[in-house]
Structure 1
Amino acid sequence: MGSNVDVNDRNGDISGIVMSCPKCGMRHQCVCEMMTPLDNHFDLLLIQHPNELARATNSAKLLQWRLTRCASFTWDRRTPPEALLEIINNHVNPVLLFPTPNSQPVSSPSLTQSDALYIVLDATWQEAGKMWRQSPWLQALPTFHLDLEHSSEFTLRRNQKPNSVCTCEIGIELLKLHNQTEQAHTLSHSMKHYFAAYQADRSGHALKS
């Protein structure tokens, strides 16, 4: 697939065409160079609402770019992907990171010391609730939640729920829980740089050095 273009000159002058990076989507600064793989010591499975795939502010792409043990599937209410169900059914300890009345803190030693498969719903809170309610196979999983004392640094959207974090920040917290402090710091730095680059790109200019 070729690069996307932004035509600013209505007279057809090619000097008015700004090419977008086909991977990161940036027009004025490419961030692909800093998206080298990071080894994570746990399995992460993202289940994405179809609406999330079209949102330029989606932060899950940072986990998909950087974490080596990260898979993603698109949620389908009627026919969940067979490959997704196979991964869940064949894993020894699949858990859903989603707050419910019976969910436990994700910092529970019984979880962080085991070979867990963390399943994250990549969606708005309203959409995630719909995904959980309409998916019996998700409701059958044990649920855990993050218990954070700090606020989110996600600046591209308004938080829909107090003390909520974006999908990328969930990945950062999981790295910390598995004592991968350096990787968590690196991913956090990449996230902040991407947020700043996205906002600058949206305004039509490159980041100031």
Structure 2
Amino acid sequence: MMAEARPHCYRCDKPASMCLCGHLTPIPNEVGVHVLQHPRERRHPLGTARLLRLGLASVSIHGLQMEGRSAVCVPVSLPQGAALLYPSEDARDLASLTVEERPKHLVVIDGTWAQAHRIFRDNPWVSALPCYRLAPDVGSRYRIRIEPRLECLSTVESVVAALRCLHDDLQGTETLISAFDAMIDDQIAASKKSSTHFHGKRTSGRPTNHIPHALLASDARIVVAYTETAPPQRGDSGPPFRLSAVSLDGEVFDRMVQTKNAPDAYLSELMGLESQALDTAQPIHQVMAEFREFCEGSRCRLPRGGLAKKALLQRTPLVLVSWNVKTQRWLEERMGDATCISLKAVWANISRARVPALDKLVGTLGLATEYLPVTGRAGRRLSQAHAMTRHILDGANAA
């Protein structure tokens, strides 16, 4: 018997229980807003462009079409006098413009900071637009994911701040921010509910039956790991070129690995690697020795009433957690004394459903990710896997 689908609002494209329509009344903005939307943002559960579509009288959403793996896009027809909201090197501060200097149409890029950067860099029809920037006094209200820079606001926050600069007396912009807050609140509430009932009706028996016992052990030293590997050459991928990890108590490990399959310029930018990052790469045996030392760092515990000398001999079990099975197997081959677990496999057993990409799952669950001092995509993925690990453990404890 098929499960009944949840009621859905097709106007705001949210579940009916999280409908945002009641929060929004179109604002009569004189400056037209044109959103260039990255393909990955169209169905993102926390995308904010939908709020602009419902909350502004003059707005156009342009879904970008990209050519292959590059960020080159099919040009979009924009009106004369359009200006781009983007913090390029020569961008002017919107708040400093006179009434005569204000643009009549505002173009914004809807995507992550890295996606927006590539779209700006690789498309002359975008970068040729006059650029303006914001200088916000506070960071983003986006409590679910962390932006890399203070001026990196969500799309709706950026547009609201810009419209306030470009209109002398524009009423109603606070409703867009209220709807944005409501969307985030709903996701966080759904996450808390999911933490308590995350096993749902699809699983049978005790919730913890679907989680490896090693992960639930009270004395386990849990380390979340993430690896990045360049595409293989002649069928041999070799070791990953990066190994990053974080313990549940926040200790961080991050090393570059010497490998014949180092990423090319395209992959380096896709993964957010700094140009000199690979210069610090070390031989794999050295990286693994340091990684073992990192994992051993907190594996000694002091028994109640015991002596510190004896505690040094009492080692806690090591559990290495990764999102995908490929990393799990790679760690199993090199960390024989550890229990290696794939979070994706664990979540598949818990949910009894097809598991989406990690970033989409974290967004759907409304999980808050913590900042980690790991640059680029590795930092984001590691933070997301860390959040999923805590979510699973919190759900098991609540059950």
TM-score by length of 2: 0.43
Please give the secondary structure, in 2, of the residue aligned with 1:138: helix
* 1:10-25 correspondence to structure 2 within 5 Å: 12=2, 17-24=5-12, 25=14
In the alignment, what sits opposite 1:52? Answer: 41
Q: 1:114 aligns with which of 81, 87, 102?
A: 102
Structure 2 match to 1:190 = 179
The share of aligned pairs that are identical, in percent, is 22
Higher deviation after alignment, 121-130 or 24-33? 24-33
Where does 1:190-209 land on structure 2 (aligned, <5 Å)?
190-201=179-190, 203=192
The answer to whether the 8 A contact 2:85-2:106 is kept is yes
Residue 165 of structure 1: how far off its partner (Å): 0.8
Structure 2 Cα separation of the partners of residues 118 and 111 of structure 1: 15
Listed one character per residue, the Cα deviations across residues 86-117 of structure 1 (whole Å, up to 9, x for unaligned) are x33xx2x2111111111111113246753521
In structure 1, the partner of 2:353 is none
Q: What is the root-mean-square deviation in Å for CA atoms of aligned residues? A: 2.4
1:152 alignment counterpart: 140
Moved more, 43-52 or 153-162: 153-162
Distance in 1 between the 2:43 and 2:104 partners?
29
1:187 positional shift: 1.9
1:61 is matched with 50
2:162 to 140, 151, 174: 174
Q: What are the within-5 Å matches in structure 2 for residues 117-136 of structure 1?
A: 117-136=105-124
Contact 2:51 2:156 in 1 (8 A): yes
CA drift of 1:74 comes to 1.6
Name structure 2 gaps, 5 residues minimum: 68-72, 195-399
Question: SS at 1:96's partner residue?
Answer: strand
Distance 1:181 1:34 in 2: 17
Pick from 137, 140, 143 the counterpart of residue 125 of structure 2: 137
Give, in angstroms, the shift of residue 186 of structure 1: 2.1
Cα distance change on mapping 1:33 and 1:147 into 2, 3 Å: same
Larger mean CA deviation between 186-195 and 132-141 belongs to: 186-195
Amino acid at match of 2:168: N
| Alignment match, 1:73 | 62
> Highest Rg: 1 or 2?
2
SS at 1:155's partner residue?
coil
**For the Cα contact (< 8 Å) 1:77–1:134, is it kept in 2?**
no
Are 1:33 and 2:27 counterparts? no
Change in 2 beyond 3 A, CA 1:145/1:202: same
Q: CA deviation at 1:196?
A: 1.1
Report the count of equivalent residues: 187
Alignment partners' CA distance in 2, 1:61 and 1:199: 19
User: Structure 1-normalised TM-score?
Assistant: 0.78
Instruction: Give 1:44 shift.
Output: 0.6
